[in-house]
A = this chain, B = another copy of it.
Amino acid sequence: MKIDHMTYAAPALLAADWGTTNFRLFLFGTDGRIIAKHTANIGLKNLGVLTFEQALLSVMKGDFDRPDLPILLSGMVGSRTGWVEAPYQSCPSSLKDIASHLVDAPSDRLKVKIVPGLRAPADHEGLLNVMRGEETQLFGLSATLGDGVFVLPGTHSKWAAVENNVIEGFSSYMTGEMFQVLKRHSILGDLMDNDRDDEAAFTLGVDRAMADKSFLSLVFSVRTEGLFGHIAPESLSSYLSGLLIGSEIRAESIRHGIRPVGIVGDGTLSNLYKRALTHTGFTDVTIHDGDAAAAAGLWAIAQQGKLVL
């Protein structure tokens, strides 16, 4: 693709959300609009023998062949096992805090800076939650949507409160991973068969989780409800999903009350969260594209950090 110079401003920044599995590259114009974007299979776990610099250069082709531009990276690329460690900054954290702690990645040919992750106090004294990559999405959402409570569903779901462009704090839940390990490796998956999306089974799970007394006891009901034929084999997966997402929403309802919630992500999982939140009384629930949030955040950080004018 050749850039249409009648339509786009001059290229000003290359930026990427670079995680364990995902890599999403954006080319921004001087006006902050995205000129081009590209995804590649160079997540940290797929790098093989490539260095980070080699991997990045391998995708800088065509429109992206601009080693002269500043480059900003967010995500696990800044972890201890990444290109260079960008130490966690503490919440509350503003866009200015983050932008003043960008870390230079060692490279002879490229001008690369990496966004630090965030840490926040967890429920127990001395315990911390951490994120890498999500902070950039949150600053992007904050720049475009303003204040709010945001949930980023996934393997390790995050909930964060953003006020006056400051990420006040956040929590982590291993909801997605728990679903996978219980379904694949525990007795709870044994009775599941021909999974389908069963809204009634899902909301039953959500309701029970909202009134939960003990997770380790409640989750075992996937077994007994299947054994007694109360829930069909094809609906048990929806029931487990409801129990887990409901458990997360229960904790966050206690933390934040019923507030407007923005869900960050695409597809099936975001819709399940929206269904569960609406079912439990949240009245203002919206879904936002994760890629767009990352891009908006990278641009906002680059501006604040004076990588672009």
Task: Using CB atoms and an 8 Å cutoff, list the residues of chain A in contact with chain B.
Answer: 122-124, 126-130, 156, 171-175, 177-178, 181-182, 184-188, 208, 211-221, 223-225, 227-228, 230, 244, 247-248, 250-251, 254
Contact = CB atoms under 8 A, between A and B. Distances in A.
A239 to B, nearest CB: 11
A224 B120 CA distance: 11
Instruction: State the copy count for this chain.
Output: 2
B251 A214 contact: yes
Given A127-B224, A211-B124, A217 B172 contact: yes
A182 to B, nearest CB: 7
Contacts of A174: 186-188, 216, 219-220, 223
B230 A126 contact: yes
Contacts of A188: 174
A203 to B, nearest CB: 13
Nearest to A157: B216
A182 B218 CA distance: 17
Nearest to A128: B224
A204 to B, nearest CB: 9
A215 B181 CA distance: 15
A177 B186 contact: yes
B181 A228 contact: no
- Closest 3 pairs (CB-CB, A-B): A214-B251, A215-B215, A173-B216
A88 to B, nearest CB: 9
Nearest to A159: B217
A213 B181 contact: no
Contact of A128 (B156, B186, B218, B228): B228
A227 B119 CA distance: 12
A215 B213 CA distance: 11
Contacts of A172: 217, 220, 224
A185 B175 contact: no
B156 A220 contact: yes
Contacts of A225: 127
14 contacts: A122-B217, A123-B211, A130-B227, A156-B220, A174-B186, A174-B219, A175-B216, A178-B186, A178-B216, A181-B182, A185-B185, A214-B250, A215-B247, A216-B244
A227 B76 CA distance: 14
Nearest to A176: B216
A217 B182 contact: no
A224 to B, nearest CB: 6
